[in-house]
Amino acid sequence: MNNKDLAKNVLELVGGEQNISGLTHCATRLRFVLKDDSKADLKTLNQLEGVLKAQNSGGQVQIIIGAKVDAVYSEVKNLTSDRLENSEESAASSGSKKKRNPFNVVLETIAGIFTPILPALVGCGMIKCLATVMAALGWLEGSGFMVIINMIGDLIFYFLPFFLAVSAAHKFKTNPYLAVALAAGLMHPTILNAAAKIAETGVSTVDFLGMPILLMKYSSSVIPIILAVWIMSYLYPLVNRVIPKFLQVLLTPMIVLFIMVPLELIVFGPVGSHIGDWLTNGINSLFSTAGVLAGAILGFFKPIMVMFGMHYAIMPIQIQQVATLGATVLLPTALAANLAQAGAAFGVFVLTKNKTMKSAAGSSGLTALFGITEPAIYGVTLKYKRPFFAACLAGGIVGGFYSLVHTTANAIALPGVLALGTYTADRYIYVILGCIASVVLAFIFTLIAGIKEDTDGTSLATQQNAGPADNNPTMAAGSTVQSETSLQTTSSTDMLIVSPMTGEIKPISEVEDQAFAQELMGKGIAVVPTEGKVYAPFDGVVEALYRTKHAIGLKANNGVEILIHIGVDTVSLKGKYFNAHIKQGQAIQAGDLLVEFDPEGITSAGYNTITSIVVTNMQQYGDVLTTASSGPIRESEALIKLIP
C-alpha cells in the first residue's frame, strides 16, 4: 500500500476529517486529537497495512507508522489541508469541547507544541555533536569553520522562543505572526542588552506605567512564550468581537500587542522563567541526592513511556536544562533504554527460528541503536513480552549507573550511537561502557528469559511426511471432513484452520509488503491462488470487509481472528476485478463463498496476486504454525495450526 492510500484509509478509520480537531506527528507516529474518540476504529487500524499499532493514549489516537510517518503525515495533510484548518478553527471557537482528563490535555499540549520543532532540535543537536567530537580531536581548532559549526549547533537555543511561538500558535489556533511578535518582545535587544549589563549599570527593572519590568534573558526560555501565546489565543478573539469589523484589521493587532507584550514582560516572563528554573533545579537536586534510584526508574520506564506517548512530557525539562545549565541529566537514561531495546531485539534474532522474525529483529535492533525504538518495541520485543521487560531491566540498571557517574548530554539529539559525542561523564569511558552494558545485558537477559516459540525446528510439514493417519486422525478423513469441522482439534488443545483458497503455498516472508513479511499484521502463510475464489475457513462472522473487497477480516465462533489479504497493493484497484458475496457483520459457515476475483485481470493490471492469510490475534496463542512452507494446497485442506 502506498503512502497516499494508507493516508486515505487512516483518515477514514479515525472517523473522517470532520472528526479531527488536531493532528501532529513525531518520529514514528501520527497523533490525532479527535472530537469523538469512539468513531476511531482502532481494531481495523491495527490490521491496516503499514500500521505497526494504533492506540488511544494521552488524549490522542496514536497511529504508529515507523520511518515513513513524515510522508504519510504529508499525504493526510494534503487530503485535508483546507477543510482540516476550518474544522480546527471551528473546534477552537465552539464551546462544546468534550471533557477530558487534565493530565491527558497537558500531555497532548506538550506533544503538540514540541513535536513540530523536533527536526530543528535534533538537527542542531547532531551538529552540536559533530562540533564536540571535532573539538575533542583538536580538528580545525579556532578556524572559521568551527565558528560556523558551533553557531549552527546553538541556533535553536539562542532563538528558542521564536520556534515555540510558531508551534504554540498552531496548537492554540491563534495568529502565528502575532505569536512571533510576542517572541520578538522577549528577544528584543532593549531587554537582552539591558539584562546583560545589569552588573555594570545596577539597573534591573524598567518602569512601565508604574509597573516594573524585570530585565531577564529569555533566549533559551520555554515556558514564558508558551504562556503568552496561550493567553493571546483567548484575548485575540475577544478583542475581535469588540472592535467593529471595518476596523479589525487595524485595531485588533495593535490592541493585542499593546496588552500582551507588557503583560508577558511583567508577568509571564518572570513567572515562567522561575517555574522553568524550579523544575530544572528540582530535577538536578533529585539526581544529586537520589541519582542512582532516579536514573534507574527513568531507564526502566522509558520504553513504557514511549508506548503511551508520554516521553514528550519531559521534553521541556530537557530543553530547559540544556538551555540554562548547558547539559541535561535526563537524556542518558533514554540512551540506556534505547540501546537496551536494541540488545533485546538482537536476543530475539538469536532465539527465533522464524526467518521473517529474524529479519525483523535484526533490522529493528539496528534502528534502535540509532535512537528509533518503536519498530523494535512493537515489531519484536513487545510481541514476545519477556524481551521487552528484559530490556527495561537492563535500561534501569544502566540508567542508575549513568546517574552514579554523573552522565549528562549537552544537546538534544536522538539518544543513540550517533549522538555519543554529546554525552559526558566523570570519565568518558563510562559513557561507552554504559552503552555496551545496555546492549549486552538486555541481550543476555533475553536469552535467559527466552521467547515463547516452537524451537524444536519441526512443523506440521514433518507430521505430514509421516502420514496423516499417524499424526492426525481427523485429517485422514479427507478434505470433506475438514470443510465441515472448519477448526479441528489435532490434540486436546491444538486447532487447525483450513485454507480458504486453492493455490501454491509460499512463506509469508515472500510477500512484497513488509507489514505482512515481517509479521507485523500477525503470523501466517501466503498462497498464490490458482482459482479466483475465497471460501470461509470456519464458522463465524465477517468482522471487516474493505470497500475495495481485496481484504477480509474474519472471526471464528471460538475467537480466532484472521485476515485474508488478496494481492499486494491491490487496494489501488478500488474494487476492480473483485466481487464480494458477503457483507460486514454477516454470519458465515465453513465453505461459504466470500469473494470472487479475477487473478488474470489483477496480474495484467500489474499487481501480484499472492494472498496473505494471517492470524491477527496471535498474542492469544502460544504459537501459530503452518502445515507446510511450500507446495500446492486446495481449499479446505489444513493450512494453519494454533497452539494455545
Reported as a single tens digit per residue, the pLDDT across 19-35 is 888 887 765 678 888 88
Q: What's the confidence (pLDDT) of residue 532?
A: 93
What's the Cα-to-Cα distance from 457 to each of 254, 265, 353, 355, 551, rounded to whole Å? Answer: 75, 70, 7, 12, 32
Q: What's the confidence (pLDDT) of residue 67?
A: 62
> What is d(CA 361, CA 341) in angstroms, rounded to the nearest whole number?
10
Residue 98 burial (C-beta neighbours within 10 Å; 0-12, 13-18, 19+): exposed
> What is d(CA 212, CA 265) in angstroms, rounded to the nearest whole number?
9
Nearest alpha-carbon partner for 521 in 541, 542, 551, 481: 551
> What is d(CA 527, CA 597) in angstroms, rounded to the nearest whole number?
14
The three-point CA angle 109-115-118 to 5° equals 145
Catalytic status, residue 124: no
Nearest alpha-carbon partner for 260 in 286, 230, 290: 230
- Tally the C-alpha atoms within 13 A of residue 187's C-alpha that lie toward its C-beta: 20
What's the Cα-to-Cα distance from 371 to each of 48, 123, 220, 306, 493, rounded to whole Å? Answer: 25, 14, 25, 12, 42
Catalytic status, residue 565: yes
**Residues lower than pLDDT 50 in the chain:** 83, 85-98, 454-493
> What is d(CA 633, CA 631) in angstroms, rounded to the nearest whole number?
7
If residue 552 lies in a helix (H) or strand (E), which one and from where to where? Answer: strand 551-556
Distance of alpha carbon 358 from the chain centroid:
22
Three cell numbers, residue 543: 468482522
What's the Cα-to-Cα distance from 264 to each of 30, 177, 185, 232, rounded to whole Å? Answer: 33, 16, 8, 10
Q: What's the confidence (pLDDT) of residue 310?
A: 63
Please identify which of the residues 25, 311, 550, 565 carries the catalytic annotation.
Answer: 565
Residue entry with cell 490535555: 105
Q: What's the confidence (pLDDT) of residue 104?
A: 64
At residue 290, φ and ψ (nearest 5 deg) are -135, 45
Long-range contacts of 271-275 (CB under 8 A, 24+ apart): 271/224, 271/227, 272/221, 272/222, 272/223, 272/224, 272/225, 272/226, 272/227, 273/216, 273/218, 273/221, 273/223, 273/224, 275/223
Its pTM stands at 0.55
Nearest alpha-carbon partner for 491 in 593, 366, 644: 644
Encoded amino acid at 644, one letter: P
> What is d(CA 439, CA 430) in angstroms, rounded to the nearest whole number?
14
> What is d(CA 174, CA 16) in angstroms, rounded to the nearest whole number?
24
Q: What is the DSSP letter of 203?
A: -
Q: What's the confidence (pLDDT) of residue 100?
A: 56
DSSP for 356-367, please give it: HHHHHHHHHHHH
Q: What's the confidence (pLDDT) of residue 563?
A: 92
> What is d(CA 564, CA 501) in angstroms, rounded to the nearest whole number?
10
Distance of alpha carbon 179 from the chain centroid:
29
CB 538 within 8 A of CB 556: yes
Q: What's the confidence (pLDDT) of residue 74?
A: 85
Q: What is the DSSP letter of 17?
A: G
If residue 349 lies in a helix (H) or strand (E), which one and from where to where? Answer: helix 331-351
Q: What's the confidence (pLDDT) of residue 117?
A: 82
> What is d(CA 327, CA 279) in angstroms, rounded to the nearest whole number?
14
What is the dihedral sign for C-alpha 444, 450, 454, 458?
Answer: positive
Which residues fall within 8 angstroms of residue 113, CB to CB, at 6 or more apart?
A: 164, 167, 168, 171, 226
Please identify which of the residues 25, 26, 129, 550 carries the catalytic annotation.
Answer: 26
- Residue 88, classed as helix, strand or coil, is helix
Q: What's the confidence (pLDDT) of residue 499?
A: 92
